[in-house]
Structure 1
Amino acid sequence: MPKFMRPYIEGIVDVIGDGHCGFRAISEHVGLTEESHVMVRRALIKELKEHRNKYIEVNASEDRYNYILDGLLPPKNPSSFAPPDKWLTFPDMGHIVASCYNRLVVEMTTLDIGVSENFFPLRGAPPINPKSNMICLALIPNHFVLLSLKDGCPLPPSSTEWRNHRSDEAKT
């Protein structure tokens, strides 16, 4: 994590590092077990398919939409190591996770890996208690962990795609 963020981290859940780690971390956050990572994939696929036109618009093409959908599909053997094309990816899947679970999703990482960003749900009213409903995922080289952050911690900027594609209700 960026050094300035370390004092704001309350806890870390280090999930199994088998290529399903991003989905395992989400599963842990929503009250399931790590082994429920396939259920998370299915929920995200449902979200993506039910709002297909919006996600094609957000991702700027049907080809990119299909690439993301294929990445969410579980590998043939979901109990084995997931190949890189089946990993949770940001920013591709940030809004899908946020909208599916109606939670702010924070991706924290270092600049040598990527960009830290917030992903808000694209539609619907914001969660009543954003802190308890925030999924904070930290990306370290080729692995996600689930973070708990202290009150008052700084957060990265919001995704520009959210500003461009949010509903009027989500804007509140």
Structure 2
Amino acid sequence: MRELSYQVHERCGCAMRVTHGLPCACQIHDSLVAGTGLYIRQIHPFWRTLVIGSGDGGTVPGNDLTEDAAHFRYLMEEVFDSDPAVLRNVSRIIEEELHPDHSNLREPAVNHRVRGRPRNNDTRRDRSYFEHVNRQHTERGARQTGDVNDISQSRYRHMLPGPMLPYITGWKDVIGDGNCGFRCVVEFFFGDQGRWYDARETIANEVLGYRALYERIYGLGRLEINVQRIRWDGGAVDSRHWMVAIQDLFPIATWFNAAVIILGVGQTPTCYYPCLTILPLRARRGVTAPEREFVIATVGASHFICIELAPDSPLPPVAGWWTEHHDPSVDGWDRRYEARRNMWDALIR
């Protein structure tokens, strides 16, 4: 199957891996393309410990630690070649893993003991009085100045880029159950964060529908892994199924034909990551521009909230992955944001 190139994924069937616990043709192909080689952990223990004959001089399992180190070095090389926002994001993750005492940011706990609230058996959290007021304002199509969603009243205020605070006209928190990123998506586009599983399925279908396009975003051979991460409908979840910024924002921007703006800050308020603007990677026939602007923010390193920006607000840089990998159908879409991009550059100097 060596001559099949990428088509090996369609012809392989993965029988060798499923029935014998040995790397199949498509796994070998991906390792050759990526230049990473194969790992002992990809071989079933039966073959690693098989002894033929008297048992003298039996095989000794290889050292996974050495292979892990080589794999980590390869990943670091890949990170250095990635979008600058990815480099900053990975650096932050590694720093938090090695030095957890350096950051006191934690996801806020949900207060389940609120006086004056009716009890029921609904698994979804009841809206607070403030959220009822906000929903009523939204349904009427009018937002009053200084309402309960004023950013000055947000507990996340210090986790947002300081220069952007004057342009933030409102914010919306969602339930922090591991699905918060996807809850933000359906809260904005459908007005119901309870439909987070619809967002997951929609995004997964978009990725699978344009494999060649999204392999440039998620990485060669990593599409199925990410689709499995995105597809989840079992309720609260750990980090294995969280939204991944920046990658997951590309199918969101593309499917909903929206400019997606993500805001956040690093360990210090002057570290603006992963502040980026993500545009659709492709356009449907007759579509010439994004129809909406969806703003999402990372807070506390593990939680997402919805943000509302004033019209014509400054916009962070357009993601480098969009510049490199977008379809010709969206050529020039970034130019319509040049003035707002210049505002951002002047703002953060």
Q: How far is the alpha carbon of 1:168 from its aligned partner?
A: 1.6
In 2, are the aligned partners of 1:45 and 1:72 still within 8 Å (CA)?
A: yes
1:135 matched residue in structure 2: 294
Rg larger in 1 or in 2? 2
Bigger proportion of residues as strand? 1
CA distance in 2, matches of 1:93, 1:19: 15
Q: Sequence identity of aligned pairs in percent?
A: 23
Q: Number of residues paired by the alignment?
A: 165
Matched residue, 2:335: none
Which residue number corresponds to residue 109 of structure 1?
264
Is the aligned partner of 1:170 residue 2:330? yes
Question: What CA deviation, in whole Å up to 9, does each residue of 1:11-57 have, x standing for no partner?
Answer: 10111111111101110111241110000101001101100111112
Deviates more, 1:52-61 or 1:115-124: 52-61
Tell me the TM-score normalised to structure 2 length: 0.45
Task: Name the CA shift for 1:50/1:128 in 2 (closer, same or farther; >3 Å).
Answer: closer
Q: Is the 8 A contact 1:102 1:126 kept in 2?
A: no
- Equivalent residue for 1:157? 317
Residue by residue over 1:57-86, the C-alpha shift from the partner in whole angstroms, topping out at 9 and shown as x without a partner, is 2333112x22321220115x22xx211121
Relative distance call for 1:44 and 1:128 in structure 2 (3 A) is closer
Runs of 4+ that moved beyond 4 A:
none
Q: Output one character per residue of 1:87-129: Cα deviation in whole Å (capped at 9) or x when no partner.
A: 1111121211111111111110003384211110000144364
Per the alignment, residue 18 of structure 2 pairs with none
Paired residue for 1:146, among 280, 287, 306?
A: 306
The reply to whether residue 29 of structure 1 matches residue 170 of structure 2 is: no
SS in 2 for 1:62: coil
Question: Compared with structure 1, are the counterparts of its residues 59 and 128 closer, same or farther at alpha carbon in structure 2 (3 Å cutoff)?
Answer: closer
Q: Secondary structure at the match of 2:216?
A: helix
Query: Which residue is equivalent to 2:247?
Result: 92
Q: Is the 8 A contact 1:9 1:150 kept in 2?
A: yes
Q: 1:11 aligns to what?
A: 170
In structure 2, what residue type is equivalent to 1:39? D
| Partner of residue 118, structure 1 | 277
Report the AA paired with residue 153 of structure 1: S
Q: Which has the higher contact order (CA 8 A, sep 6+)?
A: 1
Task: Say yes or no: does 1:39 pair with 2:211.
Answer: no
Provide TM-score, normalisation by structure 1. Answer: 0.89
Query: RMSD over aligned Cα, in angstroms?
Result: 1.6
- Residue 210 of structure 2 corresponds to 51
Aligned residue type for 1:93: D
Task: List gaps (5 residues or longer) in structure 2.
Answer: 1-159, 333-349
CA distance 1:99–1:154, change in 2 (3 Å): same
Bigger proportion of residues as helix: 2
Match for residue 66 of structure 1 among 190, 214, 224: 224
SS for the counterpart of 2:229 is helix
Q: Say if 2:263 and 2:298, in contact at 8 Å, map to a contact too.
A: yes
Q: Contact 2:258–2:290 at 8 Å: present in 1 too? A: no
Query: Separation in 2 of the partners of 1:24 and 1:45?
Result: 15
Would you say the 8 A contact 2:261–2:276 is kept in 1?
yes
